[in-house]
Amino acid sequence: MPLRLNPTFRDRLARSDRTLFGGWICSGSPVVAEIMAGSGLDWLLIDMEHAPNGLESVLAQLYAVSGYAPTPLVRVPVGETVIIKQVLDLGAQNILVPMISTPDEARAVVAMTRYPPIGRRGVGSALARSARWNRVEGYLHNDADHVSVFVQIETAQGVDNAREIAEIPGVDGVFVGPSDLAASMGLLGQQTHPDVIAAVRRAFAGIAAAGRPIGVNAFDPAAARDYAAAGAHFILVGADVAILARGSEQLAQAFISAS
């Protein structure tokens, strides 16, 4: 019997009439991923760039969150053909590719997610969870319907090219990363510096002009609310490891430092 895959994050954004708030999963733990999935957040980012995640742990986390409402995205470590092929074959329907600064880089990433003759994704649907081992009817010919592609702008050059990046066919949304953006501007660790915020807003304007959804990372609640008011459609507002770090510090402060 043919199977149907879940709607993509592209589809969810198109249906939403509000900003979607998400959580970052950096621990590499499927248990923590499932805890985050049951939190009531709208979406989750399973990270391979700054977290101890390989293919097996990403697969375990996709399984762990599959029964819950939040939509999972997988951030690959780099825009590379083999890595993207493998992550898609795991069944990740939504990917985020970091450090995209030019339209050509964005165009190349889209090609990595499409089968020939349009792109250069390797064909392995009979062997892979992506097509549920060929149980998803027409997957090879309708692959673009089942995969959404998001790219991450996190350099000053990327900000300058934001509209052109967002206009590349097959780019479903653009996520702005203030941390690396601040570093590229000589403001390392100053994500809420006025110049960084201004650059983020410039990126927003370019992405909006292209008619694409806008995303951003903002762990500071005030910054997150400001970005939502400025037109961000999806925002990362916390990470599992940061929640654990701050929560354990509060316990220590309450029971040890105060004694």
| pLDDT per position as a tens digit, 231-245 | 999 999 999 999 999
Q: Kindly state whether residue 20 falls inside one of the protein's structural domains.
A: yes
Closest CA to 54 of 31, 37, 30, 35: 30
Closest CA to 129 of 33, 12, 6, 36: 6
**Amino acid 1: pLDDT:** 58
Domain limits at 180?
Answer: 9-257
Is 90 exceeded by the pLDDT of residue 3? no
Q: Kindly state whether residue 130 falls inside one of the protein's structural domains.
A: yes
What count of other Cβ atoms lies within 10 Å of the Cβ of residue 145?
15
The dihedral built from the CA positions of residue 164, 170, 175 and 181, taken in this order, carries a sign that is negative
C-alpha–C-alpha distance, residues 158 and 207, integer Å: 11
**Amino acid 4: pLDDT:** 87
Is 80 exceeded by the pLDDT of residue 45? yes
156, 101 in Cβ contact below 8 A?
Answer: no
**CA separation (Å) from 244 to 36, 40, 69, 240, 247?**
12, 18, 22, 6, 5
**CATH number, domain containing residue 31:** 3.20.20.60
DSSP 122: P
The one-letter amino acid at 107:
R
The pLDDT tens digits of the residues spanning 175-201 come to 999 999 999 999 999 999 999 999 999
Q: Kindly state whether residue 139 falls inside one of the protein's structural domains.
A: yes
pTM of the model: 0.95
Q: Kindly state whether residue 1 falls inside one of the protein's structural domains.
A: no
102, 81 in Cβ contact below 8 A?
Answer: no
Number of domains in the chain: 1
What tokens does 62 get? 């996709």
C-alpha–C-alpha distance, residues 259 and 256, integer Å: 5
What tokens does 85 get? 């092929």
193 is annotated as an active-site residue: no
Q: Kindly state whether residue 15 falls inside one of the protein's structural domains.
A: yes
Give the three-class secondary structure for 65.
helix
Q: Which residues contact 166 (CB under 8 A, 6 or more apart)?
A: 174, 206, 207, 209, 210, 211, 212
Helix-, strand-, coil-residue percentages of the chain, each rounded to 5: 45, 15, 40
Q: Kindly state whether residue 185 falls inside one of the protein's structural domains.
A: yes
Q: Kindly state whether residue 204 falls inside one of the protein's structural domains.
A: yes
Q: Kindly state whether residue 157 falls inside one of the protein's structural domains.
A: yes
Averaged over 75-103, what is the pLDDT?
Answer: 98
